[in-house]
Amino acid sequence: MHCVEDSFILRKVANELEELRFNDNATRHDIHSDGAPFPPSCRKLLRQIPGNSQCIDCGNRNPDWASVTYGVLLCTVCSGRHRSYGVSVSRVRSITMDCWSHSQVLTMLEGGNEQLQNFFKRHDMGGKSRVFNQRYQTKAARFYRKNMDWHVSKIEQIGKWMGRAASRKVTQTPTKLIQDIRPIEVPVQ
């Protein structure tokens, strides 16, 4: 299942993200500010991302919690388990009750439950795997976290977010960047 990106919704989401970015910059030095509520159009788009209608770990319908680290949605029970992992492994927030920063919302819009499930399946950590309960503490999960963080920071540098498809066209993975580096021939004297 692919997420169909409606241009009207994308414009609304892009504007909400820019408001969040402005809010983050305006309150950067205010220790009492912790972002803003999850924007409504962003929430609507978040629910349309493949796999996001169910909890990433147990499959319960309509999850209202998130692991910002992975950009995935969780049910209440699984969010408690993620909290027990510690913030270095999984940072958990409520979609409806917590305040969010620009980069956190961006991570949620760039992630998705199906995307992480497919990653875990490729690394033999799917539902029936022996390491299912420890999969967030693996090297593969650490790789995913670092690459998600890298991807979101690249998008933030580019500027205004214009949808998942557009952001994937403009950013390259670190591996791809390394592959594009060609040795320079230096004449021997």
DSSP 65-130: EEETTTTEEE-HHHHHHHHHH-TTT--EEETTTSEE-HHHHHHHHH--HHHHHHHHHHTT-STT-T
- pLDDT: which is higher, 160 or 123: 123
pLDDT greater than 90 at residue 120: yes
pLDDT exceeds cutoff 80 at 101: yes
For residue 147, pLDDT over 50 is answered with: yes
| 178 pLDDT above the threshold of 90 | no
Under the banding of pLDDT at 50, 70 and 90, the label for residue 179 is very low
CA distance 170 to 68: 22
Q: What angle do CA 139, 115, 64 make, to 5 degrees?
A: 100
Please report the domains of the chain, with CATH numbers, ordered by start residue: 7-176 (1.10.220.150)
- pTM, two decimal places: 0.84
In the predicted structure, residue 81 carries a pLDDT above the cut 90: yes
Report the side by side order of strands in the sheet with 65-67: 72-74, 65-67, 92-94
Strands 92-94 and 72-74, bridge-based pairing: unpaired
The answer to which of 22-31, 33-42, 59-68 has the lowest mean pLDDT is 22-31
CA angle at 150 for the pair 73 and 152, rounded to the nearest 5°: 55
